[in-house]
Amino acid sequence: MTDPIEPTMDETELLAEPRLVVEPGAGARVAAIATPVLEGMGYRLVRIKISGESGCTVQIMAERPDGSMLVEDCEAISNALSPVLDIEDPIQRAYRLEISSPGIDRPLVRRSDFQRYISHLVKIEMAVAAGGRKRFRGFISAVEGDDVLIEREGARDGEDPITRLPMEDIGSANLVLTDELVAESMRRGKHAEEDLKRELGLAPPPAPHAKRSDPKKSFAPKPKAKVAKVAKKPPPKNTKAHRLAARGDFDSTEGD
């Protein structure tokens, strides 16, 4: 598993990057209202979902340009967006507003999303069939132009496992939960929390020479160094018994 490749765009370009999937009907109206508010706060819209749970729930999924999202971010968005939605009134009935992060098994809705999660497992449902199929599951191999290359799971012997899918024909795409994905998400969340504390003045800025820790680095205790054995000292040769024996006054074999 290789490290995810960060998009080469800067933050302004990431904020302005269009989504590949657009909601219909009421979802589109909510998206049109929410998008400029989110971008003005430095966030990107991921998805709008309107469901009948708890009467009616309008879920707005958002993220920072780097893909992270904290509870404090959700609270800030809710406080800013609620009064705007109350005025614009895009839903013609009572509803409950829910602001959420994309989650670990997040939807991929932009070209930069596919690029960021290269080598991770994904499931894709096409709006337009590709090669006679609409559902695909495999690892993101590469992003070339407007296409994403998927290395399919379970490819038959002699069959090319790489499938090229036009991103404009994708209906939905989600990451699949794996140990590698969980580890990567935890690393991103930790760094986002550190950045937020620095923005709020709750933590000092990093030293100029400081580097973020490598998530693959092992922090297991190192084995203890072997202690060299100390050689036993030879028995002393200049004892009283030796001196007496040398003068002939002591028989060293006596008592045998």
In a domain, 198, yes or no: no
Contact call for residues 122 and 140 (beta carbons, < 8 A): yes
Provide the number of structural domains found in the chain. Answer: 1
Question: What Å distances lie between residue 131 and 20, 126, 134, 166, CA to CA?
Answer: 21, 11, 8, 12
In a domain, 121, yes or no: no
Beta strands 133-144; 44-51: pairing state = unpaired
Question: Where residue 89 sits, what CATH number does that domain have?
Answer: 3.30.300.70
Terminal C-alpha separation, the chain: 75
Compute the distance between CA of residue 164 and CA of residue 145 in angstroms, rounded to an integer: 11
In a domain, 230, yes or no: no
In a domain, 88, yes or no: yes
In a domain, 122, yes or no: no
Which tens digits make up the pLDDT trace of 38-80?
999 999 999 999 998 778 999 999 999 999 999 999 999 999 9
pTM over 0.85: no
Query: Which residue segment(s) compose the domain that 21 sits in?
Result: 11-100
In a domain, 62, yes or no: yes
Residue-level pLDDT, tens digit, the chain, 256 residues: 445 556 678 889 999 999 998 899 999 999 999 999 999 999 999 999 999 877 899 999 999 999 999 999 999 999 999 999 999 999 989 999 999 999 999 999 999 999 999 999 999 999 999 989 999 999 999 999 999 999 998 878 878 899 999 999 999 999 999 999 998 888 876 766 666 556 556 556 655 544 444 433 433 344 445 555 555 666 666 666 666 666 665 555 555 4
In a domain, 50, yes or no: yes
In a domain, 81, yes or no: yes
